[in-house]
Structure 1
Amino acid sequence: MNEQVTVTDTPVKPVKALPNAQTVTAVTHWTDSLFSFRVTRPASFRFRSGEFVMIGLMGDNGKPLLRAYSIASPSWDEELEFYSIKVQDGPLTSKLQHIKVGDELILRPKPVGTLVHDALLPGKRVYFFATGTGFAPFASLIRDPETYEKFDEIILTHTCREVAELEYGRQLVESLEADPLIGEMIEGKLKYYPTTTREESPVMGRVTDHLKSGEIFERLGIPPLDPATDRAMVCGSMGLNKDITEILEAAGLREGANSEPKEFVVEKAFVG
């Protein structure tokens, strides 16, 4: 059963007792298995929207427990936001899910990642394909002005099992029109396509099935995938990454990287 969304957001004074420590400033529990949190951002910390970074806590043995997390906030944000699953027996997330405002997290200072604009060739339309917490890097990118400067259309897909698991993304998308920085830029450009695979919702099924059947193109009123105009980023389960890659390659798109930009990129550092 899903919990009611709860938010904690109060001013705190950072206390840097740990190396590379940052202070938790807000925590939101979206369901009994998903939560997001914000932490202070070091003045020297620079990243490109879509990148990930190693964060964590001190383990019971006094050694750091670290994991790669996509930064969900855009590069201009004064704080850093993260979106996480709760794994009851997970070495890190079993502890991380209990953080509260004022607690400290370890933040490694070197962000990296493939889901950045520099890894894509110029195009007309960009697809963001996500499952679960793989939504996080796109939460960063859809709040970045560069996304709307580079593309005429942004297709944001998010596939989850249940409706409540879409709530973080839904609320974020709905808030963008009132965003003072990009509100005017997104008008008519951002198309949000959420689907569920278990609980009944307006659009059911895996996004891969919608691509194969052409339903996503019909619903959004856009043409099928075309390597001349379309670009894509993928972040989700290993199954999604593999299946989307096959679909994109069958349509003629090529996988790129920071060092060799092409038509699509896949985040392989972790599974969302």
Structure 2
Amino acid sequence: MNKTIEVPPTLDEIEELRSAAYNATLIQRIDIHEDLALFRVKPDSEVVPFQAGQYLTLGLGYWEPRVEPSQEELLAPKQFRKVVKRAYSISCPMLDTYEQLAPCSQLEYYEFYVTLVRRADHPPALTPRLFQMREGDRIFASPRIVGTYVLKEVAPDDDVIFFATGTGEAPHNAMSAELLSRGHRGRIVSATCVRLRRDLGYIAAQTRLSAKYANYQYLHFTTREAENMNPGLPGYVGKQHLQQVVESGIFEAAAGLKLDPQRTHIFLCGNPAMIGYQPPGAPALSSPGMLQVLQQRGFREHGSDGPGQIRFEKYW
């Protein structure tokens, strides 16, 4: 009868574990700031074809070091030789080094937009290890790419609006680049809400993309900058959550676009409070989410086809 090994692996054993568990390489890491980065991962085999908006699973062994400072983690013996895995939507750079459109279908790697979680209700397992990685390090990347948060039923002349919080922007970047590569004729607006402007990891690429394509627009809003928090400032605007900028008319004015369910597809990704999804038996929402705000305007939660549909991706 086999007994549980109750000691951490040795350095030699770690090399064996890495060789057996990992099937991809971190080829580039772009740090936005100390808690936000882009990770470009190249699989040992060819990149698997997938639809923009889908996700795959990344994994690292519990034997890998964690970035500091981060919440203390006490591993059970059964975890010493296991791999922790989490699902991440696939993003894309949107434009290449020659300022040409770079949809996911043209890339030889997967791009991920990740926030470092240092503390949580349970000690975070993957991101403290991921942020310890350097270019050339090995990682697990699932060969299976899945997800239903995709550009289904979007016609070339339809308007498409993406609403995201933080790294929820990732699948929208992939979908925006895909639409533009198809020669999409309708308007495309990608709106993102973050705490601070420094959390806009794609702002440079988004600005260039907006200048390059007349039917594409990127809007960003913040909740923790001085103008969001200090009523005494001349430029005070308050916290600009996406629900509020839509309800107030700020979004439509900034986009120059009417939220018309007859011609518009809506995509939501990010914070549950922004989305406003209520699972069966869940307590009532303390304030409306985007689902509630948009349904009042005639949009429908996904399950139907065509314009007027709200699709949403959940990160919880």
User: TM-score when scaled to structure 1?
Assistant: 0.82
Aligned residue pairs total 244
| Amino acid across the alignment from 1:51 | Q
Give the alignment's Cα RMSD to 1 decimal: 2.3
Question: In the alignment, is residue 54 of structure 1 matched against residue 57 of structure 2?
Answer: yes
Structure 1 residue 32, shift from structure 2 partner: 2.1
Q: Which amino acid aligns with 1:47?
A: F
Counterpart in 2 of 1:100?
134
What are the ranges of 5 or more consecutive residues in structure 1 without an aligned counterpart? 1-15
Give 2:305's aligned residue. 261
Aligned residue type for 1:195: F
Query: Which residues in structure 2 correspond to 1:151-166 (within 5 Å)?
Result: 151-166=185-200
Q: Is the 8 A contact 2:156 2:186 kept in 1?
A: no
The answer as to whether partners of 1:119 and 1:265 remain within 8 angstroms in 2 is no
What is the percentage of aligned positions where both structures have the same residue?
27
Residues 62 and 82 in structure 2, CA contact (< 8 A), matched pair in contact too: yes
Any conservation in 2 of the 1:55–1:105 contact (CA below 8 Å)?
Answer: yes
Query: Mapping of 1:1-272 within 5 angstroms?
Result: 17-19=19-21, 21-41=23-43, 42-43=45-46, 45-60=48-63, 61-73=80-92, 74-88=104-118, 89-118=123-152, 124-145=158-179, 149-166=183-200, 168-176=201-209, 187-200=213-226, 205-223=240-258, 225-242=259-276, 243-256=289-302, 261-262=305-306, 263-268=309-314, 270-271=315-316
Gaps of at least 5 residues in structure 2 are: 1-17, 64-79, 93-103, 228-234, 277-288
Distance, in Å, in 2 between the alignment partners of 1:66 and 1:93 is 10
Q: Secondary structure at 1:25's aligned position in 2?
A: strand
C-alpha displacement at 1:121, in angstroms? Answer: 6.8
Measured against aligned partners, the alpha-carbon deviations of 1:188-220 in whole angstroms (never above 9, x if no partner) come to 111111000011468761121010011111122
Q: Distance in 1 between matches of 2:57 and 2:139?
A: 10
Letter in 2 for 1:172: A
Distance in 1 (CA, whole Å) between partners of 2:56 and 2:37 is: 18
Of stretches 126-135 and 88-97 in structure 1, the one that deviates more from structure 2 is 88-97
Q: Which amino acid aligns with 1:22?
A: A
8 A contact 1:129–1:158 mirrored in 2? yes
Equivalent position amino acid for 1:208 in 2:
Q
Question: How far apart are 1:164 and its partner, in Å?
Answer: 0.2
CA–CA distance in structure 1, aligned partners of residues 298 and 210 of structure 2: 34
Distance 1:27 1:44 in 2: 18
CA change 1:30–1:21 in 2 (3 A) is: same
Instruction: Tell me if the contact between 2:168 and 2:269 (Cα under 8 Å) persists in the aligned partners.
Output: yes
Q: Distance between the aligned counterparts of 1:44 and 1:34, measured in 2?
A: 24
